[in-house]
Structure 1
Amino acid sequence: MKKWTAIFMAAVLLLCSGCNFKVQKDSFSIPQEMVKGIEFQREYFNEEGTAYFRRKLVSNQTDIEEICTMIRTLSVERASRNEPHPITDFPLIIILRGDKDHHLILTEDMAFYDQIPYVYKDKKIFETFKTLYDNLDYEEEDTEPERF
């Protein structure tokens, strides 16, 4: 299973549920209606070994709502089975874009916070999100690595 799938699921589930996020020891929440986009940011390396980021930005509100609904449904199904927490080594940065400065940055260490719900190593979930991710209507750009 791709590791980014689990953190993406956790991020959107938290977003839907209205739970608080902990980011750098600060706690805050972003209501779903304030989210204007979801940005996926993955790190790649060119032939010279130089790192760069490739971004995919989801800004269509209908897509965001559909993602939230799907996450809620899948999460409830798996929570009822009481499956274990996944590994926490995620190579992806996710930015949930809201109004003004209401942006949430999720990085690898987010998986260690209590607010991250259980997400699951499940082939159905992996295939669902791989298809979703690969077919999103997005803007893509390559950039130099950023440090948060």
Structure 2
Amino acid sequence: MNFFLRYEQAINWIVGLCPQPDKFAHTYAGLLIWLFAGLALRRPLHSVWTLVPVVVLELANEMVDRITHGSWAWHDTLRDMAATWFWPFVLLTCFRLFPVLTSYRPPGKAVLAPSAQNEIEGALPPMAPMRAPDGHDVRGVLAGSEPV
């Protein structure tokens, strides 16, 4: 049995697992290939290089369909390409146009850099001494340290 026939049988089995029509399988395959390409190439998903495997593998899939069926079915071929490429292209474009979608914010409290903290403190007017009834200055206590 040749490669193309086995490939076609495997694809038909996979398409049988997906909801109708087969365009769902193309959509899922396009997204999976795009995600795995990002992992395998160690590139962020906003990199154009993650789209290269999606495009190449879909073109190879359509070539196998053409060899197996004996001729091009352009109506189906163009729809398969559009279904496979649509979401990876849309998501990549969104990630590139709106970088906030790919920004990482570590959990926990944000810490100001020392220079930024000094700039903030320099911009504020000096705080007048605050005395507790026992006569101690309580400014440090309010900031979390021992009384002066």
State TM-score, norm by structure 1.
0.22
Larger Rg: 2
Bigger relative contact order, structure 1 or 2 (CA pairs below 8 A, ≥6 apart) = 1
More helix, by proportion: 2
More strand, by proportion: 1
State TM-score, norm by structure 2.
0.22
